[in-house]
Structure 1
Amino acid sequence: MQPFAALTPAQFFQQNAFSHPESFLCGNTISTGNPANGPLAGMEQMPDYDNHEGVFFRADAESSCLFFAFIHHTNRGQAQGGTRFFSYETMQDLWSDGLRLSKAMSEKCAVAGLWWGGGKSIICPVGFSIKEATPERRKVIFANFGKFIASLHGAYVAAEDMNTTPEDMQTILSQNRFVTCIPKTAGGSGNPSPFPAEGVFKSMLATAKVLEGKSDLSGMSVSIQGLGNVGGALARYVLGSGVSRLYVTDLMQERMEQVKSWAPDVVEIVPSKEALLSQTCDIFAPCAGGKVIDDQTIEWLKCRYVIGAANNQLERPERHAAMLHAKGILYLPDFFINRMGIINCANEQYGWLEVTLQEEVVKIYEDTVHLLEESRNRNISPQEMAMIQAGEAMKNMHPIWPGRGRQLIEKAARERM
C-alpha cells in the first residue's frame, strides 16, 4: 500500500493546503509540484482505479476542506455524479469511495441509456465535523467547491448526494453552471431521493414476477437496512404490496418507530445491522452505507434475494457477486436498479417533467425482467449480465460531442501543470 493511503485527511491537508493546493491524476500522470505528494503516483495501482480518466483535488484553506472530483469514463458524455459531504478516517477510505462510486456512475448512466459519463465528488471537512458546519459555513464551503468545479470546465457535473441538499447545489450554482439537483424554485429537479425507492420497488416486483410468478410481494418477507429518505419511502411501497413481514433497522430509533406505526402487526424492529443481516427473509434491501456485503456477512445472510438502494453494496463486486450466486442468493446490481436518482436530475437543463420519470420507472421494471431472463438463459448471475450490458453501452460515444469529456479533462490538467 502506498504511503499516502495511511495518512489522515488532516495530514494530507496540512502538506498541501498552504503550498501546493491543486493536484490531479490524469492519464497515469501525477502533477502537484509538491514532493510530499510523490506517493500519489502509485494511486493508479489501487484495485478501484480502473483506468479513471482523471482525478482532481484541491486543499481549500479558507473552508478547511479537501475537494475531490473523480472522473471515471466519458465516452457517453461529461462525467455526472453526486457530491458527497463526508468525513473519512484515512485517505485510502476517501480515495476508494470516490473511485468506486464514480465507476458505478459510469455503469449506471450506461444501463439507464443516459448520454452522460460517470463521476463523483467528495468534500471532506478537516478539523471540524459536518454537524458543526453552520449555514454560514456551508455557504463558504459550497461556494469554494463551486469555484473548484468551475475550474474543470464542465468535465464533471455535480449533484446532490450524502449530507448535501438542493440549497447547497444552488450555492454551487452561484459560482459555476455545472451542477444539477438545484431547487425546483430555481428551475431544477430538487431532491432526487424519493425516486430511487420507486425504482428499487419496481425491481422487487419484477423479481417476484419472473422468479415467484407473482404480481406483488404478497406473502413475502422483506428486511430493510436504513430508513432515511430512500429506505423510508421503500418501506411504504413494500407495506402497500402485501408483505407478510417487514423487518427494519436504522441508527435512529424514531425512524424505526415511525415505520412500525404504519403497520404495527407487520413491521418488526431489529436492534442492529448484524441482527438484520442474520434475519431469515425473502428479500434483504440494503439502503444505508456501502460495503455491507463482504466475506463475513455473506455467511450470515438468510435471504433469497438482495435488492436494495444503497450504492456499493458489495465490498468487492466481482468476488462477492460470485459468492452470493454460489450460495443461491440472487443479487440485483445496485447500479442497475437505483438509477432513478441520476435519471431524475441528469437532464434537468432541458427542463424537468415528472411524466418522463414515470416512464423511466416502468422501464426499470421491464429492464429488470429482461436482465433476470437473460442471466437465467445464459446461466450467469444478474451482476455479470448487467456488467456485460454496461460495458457494451459504455463503448458508445456521445452522438453530438464525441471525446468532449477527455478534451475538457486535458484542458483542466494543462492549466495545473
Structure 2
Amino acid sequence: MSSIQIEEKSVFNQLSSFGHQKVVFCSDADTGLRAIIAVHDTTLGPALGGTRMWAYKTEAEALNDVLRLSRGMTYKAAITGLNLGGGKAVIIGDNRKDKSEALMRRYGRFINNLNGSFITAEDVGTTPKDMEYIRMETKYVTGVPESLGGSGDPSPVTAKGVFMGIKACVKELFGTDKLAGKSVAVQGIGNVGESLVHLLREENAKVYISDINEERLSYVSSKYGAEVVLNTDIYDLDVDIYAPCALGATLNSNTIDKLKCSIIAGAANNQLADETIHGRLLLEKGILYAPDYLINAGGLINCYSEIAGFSKKRTMQLAENIYEATRSVLKKSKSENIPTNEAANKIAEKRIEDIRKLKASY
C-alpha cells in the first residue's frame, strides 16, 4: 500500500474550508486501487455515503469532489432527521475498464479498517454487484441486492422524496399541493427521473422530458405520455416546475436568467453552481428552490432503513416526511428573507449542534 500524492497546500486548504473529521487516502498497487474516503461529521451517527467511481482528470479534482459530497451528506442526514453522519468515497478510474472484483474487495478492506465510522453504498459508477464484493470484506456496506437481504434499488424512494418536495413547494405558492394541470420539465430520465415522471403523471401533471439518451426518451415518452424537448430548450420552457435530475451545477447565472418557472425541485446533486451567488439570485428572481440535498434524500433514507431493518412501507413513510421538512425550510426562508439553501443549512446545523451539546453533557 502507498499514499496518493496530492499537492500538500491544496489538501490542507480544502480540509480547512470543509471541516472534515477524517480523510483517508487508499492506494493498492496490486489491484490498481486509488480511492479517497472522506468522513465529514459523525455527531449524529456513523458517516454514510456512496462510493463513486469516476475517471477524474486530476487527484485534486477527486479530492474536491469527495469533500463537497461528504459534507452534503452530513446536512442531508441532519435535516431529514436521520441518526447518521456524513461521508463519501471516490475511486479514481474508469468504471467500465478499471473495475474488478479484486479492486472492490481491496477497497472493502480499507472500509473495514475504519471500524464502522464509515458505511458505504452504491453511487455513480458503482452497482449492487460491487456492493456484494465489498460486503465480502466488511459488514459496513448497504445497498446490496434484495436477494441478499438488502434494500434493493433506491430510485423509487428517491423519486418519492423529490415528489413530496415538489408538492410542498406547490402548496406554498398555490395554496394546494394538487399537481393536476401543473407543468413540469424533468431534465434527466434515468431510474430516478423515470420514477418521478411516473408519479407526476399519476397526478395528471403535464410533463416535459429531456435527456442525452434518445432511446430512453422515446421509451419514457411512450410509456407515460410525456413530451420530449431538446436539452438546449429545457431552460426556455414556460413551465411551473423545473426538475433537474441529471448532472449538477445546472443552476448558474446563464440558465437562471433564462428560466420562466416558479419552482425548482429535482433529484440532481449540487444543482447550484455557486451556493451563495445562485441561491441568492433565485431568491431575488422569485423562484422557489427546494434544496437538492433535502428532497433527494430518499437514497440515504433507503440505506438507513436497510441498516435499521425497516420495512418498505416504513421507508416510504420516511420519504414522505420530506414534505414537512421542505415546508419548514420554506417557512424559515420566508420569515428571514434568506435563500432556501441557507435556511436548510441553518436547520441542519442547529440539529447537529444541539446533539453535540447533548453528548458533551453525558
TM-score range, shorter chain: over 0.9
3-state SS, counterpart of residue 132 of structure 1: coil
- Deviations along 1:243-283, whole A, 9 cap, x unmatched? 2x32211121111111211344xx221222x3212322111
Gap change, CA 1:55 and 1:276, over 3 Å in 2: same
| Distance 1:47-1:330 versus aligned 2 partners, 3 A rule | farther
> Is 2:185 aligned against 1:223?
yes
Specify which of 204, 210, 222 is matched with residue 166 of structure 2: 204
Secondary structure of the residue that 1:82 maps to in structure 2? strand
SS in 1 for 2:96: helix
1:4 maps to what in 2?
none
2:224 aligned with 1:259: no
Contact residue 76 and residue 396 of structure 1 kept, 8 A? no
1:39-50, aligned counterparts within 5 Å? 39-46=7-14, 49-50=17-18
Determine helix, strand or coil for the equivalent of 2:87.
Answer: strand
Write the distance in 2 (CA, Å) between the matches of 1:192 and 1:336: 16
Local SS of the residue matching 2:203? coil
1:191: Cα distance to partner? 2.1
Name the structure 2 match of 1:393.
351
Asked if 1 retains the 8 angstrom alpha-carbon contact of 2:305 and 2:311, the reply is no
Partners in 2 of 1:296 and 1:210 — Cα distance? 26
Q: Aligned runs of 1:179-194 on 2, under 5 Å? A: 179-194=141-156
**Root mean square deviation, CA, Å:** 2.3
Distance 1:397 1:370 in 2: 19
Question: What does residue 9 of structure 1 align with?
Answer: none
Q: From the superposition, tell whether residues 400 and 22 of structure 1 become closer, same or farther in structure 2 (CA, over 3 Å).
A: farther
Report the counterpart of residue 32 of structure 1 in structure 2.
none
Give the residue type in structure 2 aligned to 1:86: W
Identity %: 35
SS in 2 for 1:71: strand
| Conserved? CA contact 1:77–1:401, under 8 Å | no
Equivalent-residue separation in structure 1 for 2:95 and 2:10 (angstroms) = 30
Q: Which amino acid aligns with 1:235?
A: V
Within the candidate set 7, 21, 27, 2:2 is matched to 21
1:306 equivalent to 2:264? Answer: yes
| Structure 1 counterpart of 2:322 | 364
Contact 1:22–1:59, Cα closer than 8 Å, also in 2: yes
Would you say 1:90 and 2:58 are equivalent positions?
yes
Q: How does 1:15-414 map to 2 (within 5 A)?
A: 21-22=2-3, 37=6, 39-46=7-14, 49-125=17-93, 129-133=94-98, 137-243=99-205, 245-264=206-225, 267-272=226-231, 274-397=232-355
Pair 1:257–1:393, CA change in 2 (3 A): same
Task: Report the Cα distance in structure 2 between the residues aligned to 1:181 and 1:386, rounded to whole angstroms.
Answer: 27
| Offset, 1:298 | 1.9
Equivalents in 2 of 1:296, 1:48: separation in Å? 31
CA distance, structure 2, for counterparts of residue 179 and residue 400 of structure 1? 28
Q: Helix, strand or coil: the match of 1:211?
A: helix
The 1:147/1:216 distance shift into structure 2, 3 A limit, reads same
Between 1:228-237 and 1:50-59, the stretch displaced more is 50-59
How big is each residue's C-alpha offset from its partner over 1:265-323, in whole Å with a ceiling of 9 and x where there is no partner? xx221222x32123221111111121221222222222211100011111221221111
Q: What one-letter code is carried by the residue in structure 2 that aligns with 1:257?
A: S
C-alpha displacement of 1:398:
7.3
Say which SS state the counterpart of residue 138 (structure 2) adopts.
coil
Letter in 2 for 1:130: N
Matched AA of 1:346 = Y
Task: Give the secondary structure class of the aligned counterpart of 2:18.
Answer: coil
Further displaced range: 88-97 or 166-175 = 88-97
Larger radius of gyration: 1
Q: Decide whether aligned partners of structure 1 residues 345 and 263 sit closer, same or farther in structure 2, where only a CA change above 3 A counts.
A: closer
Is there any run of 5+ residues in structure 2 with no aligned partner, and where?
Answer: none
Residue 297 of structure 1 aligns to a residue whose secondary structure is helix
1:22 shift after superposition? 2.9
Aligned length, in residue pairs = 361
Letter in 2 for 1:223: A
SS in 2 for 1:222: strand
With a CA cutoff of 8 Å and minimum separation of 6, indicate the structure with the bigger relative contact order.
1
Shift of 1:400: 11
Q: What is the TM-score normalised by the length of structure 2?
A: 0.93
How far apart, in 2, do the equivalents of 1:47 and 1:331 lie? 29
Contact (CA 8 Å) 2:44, 2:84: kept in 1 or not? yes
In 2, Cα distance between equivalents of 1:401 and 1:145 = 32
| Amino acid paired to 1:332 | A
**Residue 58 of structure 1: SS of its match in structure 2?**
strand
- 1:333 positional shift: 0.5
Q: Would the aligned equivalents of 2:160 and 2:316 in 1 still touch at CA under 8 Å?
A: no
The CA distance in 2 between the partners of 1:48 and 1:251, in whole Å, is 37
Q: Which amino acid aligns with 1:118?
A: G
